[in-house]
Amino acid sequence: MRSGVRRTEFDLRPFLEPRERILDVDIGKAVADLYAFVLAISSKGFEGALRASMQGVETDQPGPELVTAIGEDLSHDITCLQAEVFRKAVEEAIFDAAGLGYDLQRLNVKAGLERYLRKRGPKQFLELFLSRYVFNAVWLRVQDHLRAKSGSRSLRKSAVGIERFCSSVVRSVVENWHVEGKLERLPAKKRLGTTLIATIETRLLETTNAPVRKFR
């Protein structure tokens, strides 16, 4: 099931050394924990979920600090640059879901996330997070090469094209997992998070996207 993804000349492999990975499968457990957290928000509310899964995170912090604390708690077993990439994606996904565009100091993360999950559900939040994570990881690989070959306007267009490409791949994989019943097992079987990231990486290397074919 690969709806929305078309084959063209774009290929991520030229940006990689032999056997080098684009994504870090070691974030798999943290991805499973994040999904379990948003599922808990759906059933227990934000504060109930936070107390159950992140006891060291205070709920009365301002929005930005609260989101940072959640990202740090989830990423405590990840190290170096990959921890930064993971946390950045967590923060972007939460701010997007909770209402990015408002005054971040007044942003009500709790109410915003609860509203988002009632309306769209945990699966769509997982897609949002994974799309952010995959795009950030891919962009780290390609941005210097693209910047050297294009102006700022072209670079922005390239980023939009790559972001759409990453989101399309993520949606396809997550939908497959949902249909096959793997997604519902993810919170209890943390090792499935590693498989999920590896599956997305495989699909990235198999799939290409028209808007970025000129990069090759």
What is the tens place of the pLDDT at every residue in 128-175?
999 999 999 999 888 877 777 766 667 788 888 889 989 999 999 999
Could you tell me if residue 1 is inside a domain? no
Residue 3, in any domain of the structure: no
Question: Is 2 within a domain?
Answer: no
Domain count, the chain: 1
Residue 6 in any domain: the answer is no
The label of the residue with tokens 């939009």 reads 160
- For residue 41, pLDDT over 80 is answered with yes
User: How far is it, in rounded angstroms, from Cα 114 to Cα 111?
Assistant: 5
Backbone angles phi, psi at 215, to 5 degrees: -70, -20
Contact of 177 with 196, CB cutoff 8 Å: yes
Q: How much is the pTM?
A: 0.85
Grade residue 205 by pLDDT with cuts at 50, 70 and 90: confident
Least confident range from 88-92, 107-111, 195-199: namely 107-111
7 domain-assigned: no
Q: Is the pLDDT of residue 210 over 60?
A: no
- Domain limits at 205? 13-215
Does residue 28 fall inside a structural domain? yes
88, part of any domain = yes
> Left, alpha or beta for 19 (phi > 0: left; psi -120 to 50: alpha)?
left
> What digits encode the pLDDT tens for the residues 75-84?
998 988 989 9
- Residue type at position 106: R
Q: How far apart are CA 74 and CA 98, in angstroms?
A: 18
